């Protein structure tokens, strides 16, 4: 079953194009059931397993768990987080503070 990521209508086309170019097999939807929701935010808000805050941050552990939930390799998750301008904090290797 294809994994789904829910975004605001204003982000949908750009995210679909990015995922297609990168070969990341996630369906972008604007409503209905999804595995993860992306929300644009102004403040640096911490993402969790169900919600990724574009412009916010995520722990390394949560990013890995989100990749598993979406059924994609962690390398693709990193590209997705970069695209969404999500910073990684509390890296398991100590690379990001």
Per-residue pLDDT tens digits for 9-56: 999 999 999 999 999 999 999 998 999 999 998 778 999 999 999 999
If you compute the radius of gyration of the chain from its CA atoms, what whole number of angstroms results? 12
Residue 70 has pLDDT above 90, yes or no: yes
The C-alpha atoms of residue 2 and residue 57 are separated, in whole angstroms, by 25
Task: Name the region of 8 (left: φ>0; alpha: ψ -120 to 50; beta: rest).
Answer: beta
């Amino acid at each position: 079953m294809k994994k789904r990521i829910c975004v605001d209508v204003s982000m949908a086309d750009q995210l679909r194009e990015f995922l297609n170019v990168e070969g990341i097999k996630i369906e972008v939807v604007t409503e209905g059931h999804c595995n993860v929701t992306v929300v644009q935010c102004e403040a640096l808000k911490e993402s969790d397993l169900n919600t990724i805050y574009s412009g916010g941050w995520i722990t390394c552990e949560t990013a890995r768990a989100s990749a598993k939930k979406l059924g994609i390799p962690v390398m693709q998750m990193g590209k997705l987080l970069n695209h969404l301008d999500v910073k990684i904090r509390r890296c398991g290797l100590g690379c990001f503070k």
